[in-house]
């Protein structure tokens, strides 16, 4: 399972939020979620397979923490999608040029409308 598939599940996202501040035991994570301990363990196993968490054994308990760099593929995609590229990139003067063109078109339209009114129509509108 990759990071994207792992993050698709709201329970797994919630588990990641729970362990972002430090190491957590399965029993503590299960207490914070409305699902069984075996279900939490299964979600943690999937998160581990996706490279998002690491587990360390402390006696009979397993402690989970965020894996360094586990979210890198997700972060890289978000950066890639948020940076304007190609046709979406606007130069510094593009919006100013657009504003000028809109104003010119509006002015030309008003001038054209005024010129198209005949003297007889002008008297009726006055």
Give the domain-ending residue among 17, 50, 66. 66
**Residue 37 domain-assigned (yes or no):** yes
Are residues 60 and 11 located together in one domain of the fold? yes
Total domain count, the chain? 2
95 and 53 in a common domain:
no
Q: Please report the sign of the dihedral spanned by the C-alpha atoms of residue 19, residue 58, residue 62, residue 73.
A: positive
CA atoms of 65 and 52, how far apart (whole Å): 9
Q: Say whether both 45 and 11 belong to one domain.
A: yes
Of the pLDDT bands very low, low, confident and very high (cuts 50, 70, 90), residue 28 is very high
Average pLDDT of the chain, as a whole number: 84
61 lies in the same domain as 111 = no
User: Each residue of 59-102: pLDDT tens digit?
Assistant: 998 999 999 999 999 999 988 888 776 555 556 666 777 777 77
Indicate whether 84 belongs to any domain. Answer: no
Integer angstrom CA distances of residue 112 from 14, 32, 105, 106: 62, 70, 10, 10
Residue 77 in any domain: the answer is no
Question: What is the domain extent for residue 30?
Answer: 3-66
The DSSP result for 90-117, as a single string, is: --TTHHHHHHHHHHHHHHHHHHHHHHHS
What pLDDT was estimated at residue 10? Answer: 94
Residue 74: inside a domain, yes or no?
A: no
Domain assignment present for 72: no
Contact between 51 and 67 under an 8 Å Cβ cutoff? The reply is yes
């Amino acid at each position: 399972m990759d990071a994207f598939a792992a993050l698709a599940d709201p329970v797994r996202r919630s588990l990641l939020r729970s362990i972002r501040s430090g190491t957590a035991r399965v029993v503590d994570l299960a207490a914070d979620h409305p699902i069984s301990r075996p279900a939490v363990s299964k979600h943690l196993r999937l998160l581990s397979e996706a490279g998002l968490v690491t587990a360390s054994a402390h006696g009979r308990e397993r402690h989970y923490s965020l894996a360094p760099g586990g979210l890198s593929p997700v972060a890289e995609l978000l950066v890639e999608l948020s940076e304007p590229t190609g046709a979406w990139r606007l130069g510094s003067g593009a919006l100013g040029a657009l504003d000028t063109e809109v104003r010119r078109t509006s002015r030309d339209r008003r001038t054209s409308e005024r010129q198209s009114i005949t003297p007889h129509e002008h008297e009726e509108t006055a």
